[in-house]
Structure 1
Amino acid sequence: MTAAVEAPPRTFDRRLILPLVLGSILNPVNSSMLAVALVPIAITFHAVPAETAWLVSGLYLATATGQPVVGRLVDRYGARPLYLAGAAVVGIAGIIGTFAPSLWVLVAARVLLGFGTCAGYPAAMYLIRRSGVEKPGGLLTTLAVSAQTIVVVGPTLGGLLIGAAGWRALFAVNIPLAVLCLVLGAILLPRSDRPEAHARLDHLGIGLFAGTLTALMLFLMSPSIGHLWLLPLTIVLAAGFGWRELRYVDPFLDVRVFGGNAPLIATYVRTLLAQTVAYAFLYGFTQWLEAGRGLSAAHAGLILLPMSLVAIGVSALTGRRAEFRGKLLVGAVSQIAVAALMLILHGGSALWLLVLISLVCGLPQGLNSLANQNAVYFQADPDRMGASAGLLRTFAYLGAMVSSAATGAFFKHGADTAGLHDLAIFLLVVATLLLVVVLADRSLRRIGTPSDERP
């Protein structure tokens, strides 16, 4: 009797790592660098904070809507065509932003950047999943570490670029990045990764989804009594979206899968809460450093450098560990500590205290996104990995929008110390809620283990 021969474990083509990482960081680099550019841009165009806020919100709106849509297209048509199209849009947006004659042209460039950067991350998750690699921890860590590195290094890099060449350099840098993505993607991304043909694309479902998110995020951008009509519109569009997806043969998002996958939904909720705190700190604390503490953009960026170093180190050291719950617990507690420390800041706070807050903030920056990203890899339907990964980014940017609304409300009269303290109280509540959600999710102990039953 001939013994059965075991198939060798599948491996991932490591030549793909560079283009996939490069594509994945296009979004966080454009999201984070702008944190130190809002004041210089406002001076250039004589704009008020309510107007420059659209530079942040425009990218968030485009990304939150576009990520799962592009992710679903990746699931259907493969990574290569969407990756290359996205890179081309990023290059065009970089050119428009570099030469923008007005604030609103600059906002349009940021919206284009949002749509263009939607393809990189879903394409990377899709290709890793389709490779069938048995132990994806190293690859997922590489994605998470690179994205987190860019998020936390972004303000420092942005400050240095502004100091050297002005704020337009933050847009110009997208041009060589896009060219590099196009070249590497054309050479290295596989042509044969297109899945089998499916039913007709769910255009109506995509439209209802985009309308739901747009209405919700427009309200979050400027919550007020005059905009309350956006909330019932959101509910109506969401109901229509659910009705459509339950009846379509090949829905854009299979809500039945999500309805029976409580751990995946919990991961999305954790992402929303964690990113609400992270982005509020990134933009709120940074604005206070400049307006409330009187630091320059370059110096504010340098204050955040310790956060960058801690986040990179923590992600690199813990990325291959299968532990999820412990990472998220440390991340939530660290965010509570950061918010508490922000309550004791004032206009003359010592630099060592600012650096300490930056150091502590590096822990959740390095742990939360890494753990939630890896959780989605194990929790999501393999056939919808692109859409599920894109939806993770959607919830991240919903958190960013909540943080933007909170920052706008608490800094209504400027980024002063009183507003920072109000923001800190809000972040204490959100971070505590995150801790409760982590403690309540017992499925975190089983993710990635042989007993874990994937949907």
Structure 2
Amino acid sequence: MSIRSRWLMIAVGLGILLNPLNSSMISVAIPSLQKVFQLDFTAVSWIVFSFYIASAIAQPVLGKASDLFGRRNLFLTGLVISFITSLLAPLSPNFGWLIVFRIVQSIGTSMMVVVGMALVRIHIMEKQATALSVLSIFLSGAAAVGPFIGGILIHWWDWHAIFFVNIPFVVASFLLAWRTIPKDEPRTTVTRNMSFRKWLELIDATGILLFTVGLVALLFGLLSAKSSGHISLGNVIVGLIGLVTLGAFVRHELIATSPFIPLRTFAKYPAMTWANVEFMLVNLLFYSLFFGLPSYLQMVRHVSEFQTGILMLSLGLCSLVSAPIAGRWIDKSGPRSALLLSAILMTFGSVWLVTLDQTSPVISVCLALAAFGISNGLNSVGMQALLFQSSPKEIIGITSGLFNTSRYLGTILSSLLIGIVMGGKFSFEGFRLLGIILTLVALCLVFISLRCRESGQMQES
């Protein structure tokens, strides 16, 4: 890899880490926000949900935009938006404005995640899996240390600091990106003389609107039921509106001349579809552990917050160590073997959770955390390599966007799963049931990996 490529990787890495960093730091700020804005937990929890919903919707939209209008300018624009929101969010006069700035921040950081992956696909041709492992270190590392950084900042300053801390990363990424990311090639399909109507058709504004309304309505209905603790008629109606709108979106995309999400192309390349399904299940498993285990340790085993944080570090450290090893392995052997091992490790970790009882040494949870951490390092590189392998180059932006939407859908589903299993109180019995469900999901991943690996070997022969 050339020196310029290395600096490009650093520029992209410093930009893409902002999304997982800000999604994880906020978790430790919730008690402070409750006191400052005098709100209950249900209301404050939307500071987390709004970020995930906005990211899930923004990433495929921005992927489409990057395919049409170029990637360098979009990456730089995302950094500018992140800089502005990091300055303005701490000045929010009320909680509503803070939510607005969080949503805008999510859109800005999503620009860099989508475009960053596409830049690697286009400009780094040698050892792409190794390059992806470097990006994985930025992504996984930021998610792993986010709660620690947030806790330290809030302890020594206050919640405003978790926004100001973004500024050094934004400035460094902008300066490096300006020098290292190649300028975009001229786009013949987008001209200054194009009419507004033609421009709307080109970006498929109708498809984007249907997708946004449908996904927002569906997720809002589900998350409102989860946060309120019961299912109301209003939640059901909003969720049904979302499903119907998403159905209309699918129908529209099949007949659109320039579809926002090329469903017919996905039908031509089923491996892309399977990659998204697998990635959603992987994140359902990972974040169920990521969110569920700390609550189990603190509420059931009465472990302190500091000790819980130390235990959870084993998850991030194993992920960081395994990612570069996975990159070299996948460069030589392809992604399928690594993904199969990852599914097996997740199955082991889930089964281990089921075997724990109320007298098991607390340190024994580190075995499950290590298994999930290693599998996360394998997945973060292997799933992205699988997507690159199965996706046509000309639509890599939209496929990367949808891929990251699968990540956030898995994250949201993990939160819903924990809420359904635990009900109003976190208990040992609920945690064991959660482990059983995760074991079944992990076994499904093993089955999918085996089938896809066999079909890939048959195609090669």
Q: Same fold (TM over 0.5)?
A: yes
Q: Per-residue displacement from partner, 1:5-48 (whole Å, max 9, x unpaired)?
A: xxxx9997333112111122111111223344434444544443
By how many angstroms is 1:136 displaced? 1.8
In terms of mean alpha carbon deviation, does 291-300 or 66-75 score higher? 291-300
Partner of 2:319: 311
1:80 aligns with 2:91: no
By how many angstroms is 1:253 displaced? 1.4
Match of 2:361 among 350, 354, 358: 350
Match of 1:430 among 441, 444, 448: 441
In terms of mean alpha carbon deviation, does 345-354 or 48-57 score higher? 345-354
Q: Equivalences for 1:51-450 in 2 at 5 Å? A: 51-100=43-92, 102-131=94-123, 133-198=125-190, 200-223=202-225, 224-226=231-233, 227-322=235-330, 323-345=334-356, 350-442=361-453, 445=456
The answer (yes or no) to whether the contact 1:268–1:392 under 8 Å persists in 2 is: yes
For residues 373 and 103 of structure 1, do their structure 2 counterparts lie closer, same or farther at Cα, with a shift above 3 Å needed? same
User: Partners of 1:187 and 1:151 in 2: how far apart?
Assistant: 27
The answer (yes or no) to whether the contact 1:96–1:109 under 8 Å persists in 2 is: yes
SS of the residue 1:364 aligns to? helix
The answer (yes or no) to whether the contact 1:331–1:368 under 8 Å persists in 2 is: yes
For residues 293 and 168 of structure 1, do their structure 2 counterparts lie closer, same or farther at Cα, with a shift above 3 Å needed? farther
The answer (yes or no) to whether the contact 2:131–2:327 under 8 Å persists in 1 is: no
For residues 356 and 435 of structure 1, do their structure 2 counterparts lie closer, same or farther at Cα, with a shift above 3 Å needed? same
For residues 291 and 169 of structure 1, do their structure 2 counterparts lie closer, same or farther at Cα, with a shift above 3 Å needed? farther
User: Partners of 2:356 and 2:89 in 1: how far apart?
Assistant: 35
User: Partners of 1:305 and 1:444 in 2: how far apart?
Assistant: 37
Q: Per-residue displacement from partner, 1:331-366 (whole Å, max 9, x unpaired)?
A: 222222333333355667533223333222212221
User: Partners of 1:433 and 1:15 in 2: how far apart?
Assistant: 39
In terms of mean alpha carbon deviation, does 376-385 or 207-216 score higher? 207-216
In terms of mean alpha carbon deviation, does 400-409 or 322-331 score higher? 322-331
For residues 134 and 401 of structure 1, do their structure 2 counterparts lie closer, same or farther at Cα, with a shift above 3 Å needed? same
Q: Which runs of 5+ in 1 are unaligned?
A: 1-8
User: Partners of 1:299 and 1:160 in 2: how far apart?
Assistant: 15
By how many angstroms is 1:129 displaced? 2.7
By how many angstroms is 1:150 displaced? 2.0
The answer (yes or no) to whether the contact 2:326–2:381 under 8 Å persists in 1 is: no
User: Partners of 1:102 and 1:347 in 2: how far apart?
Assistant: 43
The answer (yes or no) to whether the contact 1:324–1:445 under 8 Å persists in 2 is: no
Structure 1 consecutive aligned stretches of length 4 or more whose deviation exceeds 6 Å: 9-12
SS of the residue 2:287 aligns to? helix
1:13 aligns with 2:5: yes
Q: Which has the higher helix share?
A: 2
TM-score of the pair, normalised by structure 1:
0.88
Q: Which runs of 5+ in 2 are unaligned?
A: 191-198, 226-230
The answer (yes or no) to whether the contact 2:219–2:239 under 8 Å persists in 1 is: no
By how many angstroms is 1:392 displaced? 0.4
SS of the residue 1:228 aligns to? helix
In terms of mean alpha carbon deviation, does 165-174 or 398-407 score higher? 165-174
For residues 42 and 311 of structure 1, do their structure 2 counterparts lie closer, same or farther at Cα, with a shift above 3 Å needed? same
Q: What RMSD in Å do the two structures reach over aligned CA positions?
A: 2.8
User: Partners of 1:121 and 1:408 in 2: how far apart?
Assistant: 28
The answer (yes or no) to whether the contact 1:23–1:119 under 8 Å persists in 2 is: no
The answer (yes or no) to whether the contact 1:291–1:415 under 8 Å persists in 2 is: yes
In terms of mean alpha carbon deviation, does 173-182 or 347-356 score higher? 347-356
In terms of mean alpha carbon deviation, does 32-41 or 403-412 score higher? 32-41
Q: Equivalences for 1:19-38 in 2 at 5 Å? A: 19-38=11-30
By how many angstroms is 1:59 displaced? 0.7
In terms of mean alpha carbon deviation, does 341-350 or 144-153 score higher? 341-350
User: Partners of 1:345 and 1:160 in 2: how far apart?
Assistant: 31
The answer (yes or no) to whether the contact 2:64–2:203 under 8 Å persists in 1 is: no
SS of the residue 2:258 aligns to? coil
User: Partners of 1:192 and 1:252 in 2: how far apart?
Assistant: 21
User: Partners of 2:161 and 2:298 in 1: how far apart?
Assistant: 20
The answer (yes or no) to whether the contact 1:144–1:373 under 8 Å persists in 2 is: no
Question: Sequence identity of aligned pairs in percent?
Answer: 27
The one-letter amino acid of 1:86's match is G
The one-letter amino acid of 2:433's match is D
The answer (yes or no) to whether the contact 1:11–1:131 under 8 Å persists in 2 is: no
User: Partners of 2:316 and 2:207 in 1: how far apart?
Assistant: 39
By how many angstroms is 1:257 displaced? 0.4
